[in-house]
Amino acid sequence: MENFKLENMELSPLDRAKRHVTFQHRGASGWITLAKKEPDGGWRQYHYQPNELAVELPKWLGEDVYFSQNTFYKPQRRIENIRQLRALYVDVDCHTIGYEPEWVVGKLDIEVFYDNILPEPNLIIFSGRGIVCVWLIEPVPYKALPLWKAVENYFYEQLSYVGADKKSLDPTRVFRIDGSVNSKSKKEVVVEYRHGDRYVLRDLQYEYLPELTRAETGKKGRKGKLVRLHNIQTLHYARLLDLIRLAELRNYDLKGYRELFCFLYRYWSCCLTDDPDEALRQMIELNAGFKEPLSEKEVIRATKSAEKAWMARNDAKANEEARKKGYPGAGYNLKNSTIIRWLDITPEEQRHLQTIIDANEKRRRKRERDRARTGELRRGQGAKTREEYLEEQRERTEDKAWQLQKAMERHPDATNKQLAMMLQISVRRVQQLKRLVKN
């Protein structure tokens, strides 16, 4: 601890902040969030492209400054806008159980990292009252979010015994930046850099989540808790993306459906982030983007039951009661038909969605897949495409027309029947070709 503290003292807070952001986001694609907690409790955030950060950082440095660990398609820090997943992380609030951060790091080195219970993190942020372990990964797109979440949850579980915070596991999370100050403890944030090699998410899955790996290979057997959770989160994320796609198709003109959109978004976001406060923040931001948004107070009140349902999903007694009634578990176990009915999703709109579709749309997609497979099979067996067939027919027609023209030049008095016999085609075909020759 002392060595890297001394090393940091040689750099200004601004240089340390630049080093921290550059270390994590070199070569990044998308928007990166810088955020600051104001003295009055307010929250200010802005979004920058990676090449803008060095110029903008001086405007932000001071107390309670944060930056996002992953990047976004749009300048909006919301789960549906994830562009690149670039890091795994666990926030350890060791102060809540009376542990000193330096002591916790020593304990983890001996009990977790040395024995390869978890790989060694790339960096450790001493945040002023706790620590954040950060593992950099080769960037993966938003579609890998369910797998990212499964690995993230596993890492959290291994560090829960030293005070890991479950609310810090969402992919939109921001953490304190090196050189800034924690206003609660009045301590400066310090980063310990350990190595610069990025991990591969799939490799982490294969090494640390064997149950999920076995399920992917199709091995039979009852699916474990981890696999079921992974499948559910995959569904929730696909549905949340469909919800946003539907809003876009309707140009965010959602009058009559605003409460339902916000309710579903808040519920699925809670399930994906495990952080009701973050889910609420993102839902409020979504509502603000509607053509006619609901008032903040109204939308919070109207969607409160979404958070209650999410809490029930994490309650053992509530899940037991739900299973007794024949449900898979507590919370909202919505069918596609129910969502389609609630939101009046048309067949045309369903064509643009990934998973919120009815039986008719499923059959239509199957017919398209079957036709595509049949076409590929026929082409593999030497069958021609329609374009190839038409081109061949055109060439044949041009060849026959040329033959007819030469035959007519040699036998100017020949009848159509005689010409047909010469070319071994029908009289009708001779008549057709004569029209081409004349043109």
Phi, psi of 224 (to 5 degrees): -75, 175
Give the pLDDT of residue 144: 92
- CA of 60: how far to CAs of 46, 75, 131, 200, 216, in Å? 10, 17, 22, 32, 45
Give the pLDDT of residue 430: 82
Tell me the residue type at 432: Q
Give the pLDDT of residue 29: 93
CA distance 416 to 136: 81
- CA of 59: how far to CAs of 14, 30, 54, 96, 400, in Å? 10, 21, 10, 32, 79
- CA of 366: how far to CAs of 206, 359, 372, 408, in Å? 32, 10, 10, 54
Give the pLDDT of residue 2: 52
Closest residue by Cα to residue 198 from 123, 108, 111:
123
Question: 3-class SS at 48?
Answer: strand
Give the pLDDT of residue 232: 84
Give the pLDDT of residue 73: 93
Give the pLDDT of residue 224: 67
Give the pLDDT of residue 88: 98
Q: Where are the alpha helices (DSSP H) in 171-209?
A: 201-208
- Token couple for 200: 């591969």
The 10s digit of each residue's pLDDT in 290-312 is 999 999 999 999 999 999 888 88
pTM for the full predicted model: 0.77
Element (H, E) at 19: helix 13-25
The 10s digit of each residue's pLDDT in 112-146 is 999 999 999 999 999 988 999 999 999 999 999 99
Contact 412/420 with Cβ under 8 angstroms? no
In order, the DSSP letters of 330-390 are SS----HHHHHHHHT--HHHHTT-SS---HHHHHHHHHHHHHHHHHHHHHHTTPPPHHHHH
In this structure, the number of other CB atoms found within 10 A of the CB of residue 322 comes to 18
- CA of 327: how far to CAs of 86, 124, 288, 323, in Å? 37, 42, 34, 5
384: Cβ–Cβ under 8 A, 6 or more apart, which residues?
392
- What does the chain come to in residues? 439
Give the pLDDT of residue 221: 54
CA distance 284 to 304: 12
Give the pLDDT of residue 209: 87
CA distance 396 to 143: 49
Question: 3-class SS at 35?
Answer: strand
Instruction: Give average pLDDT by consecutive 10-residue segment, the chain, 439 residues.
Output: 58 93 94 92 90 90 94 94 96 86 94 94 94 97 92 94 91 95 93 96 90 65 67 89 95 95 95 91 94 95 92 75 66 88 95 94 91 74 67 72 79 85 82 78
Element (H, E) at 437: helix 427-438
CA distance 89 to 123: 10
- CA of 233: how far to CAs of 73, 124, 146, 147, in Å? 21, 28, 6, 9
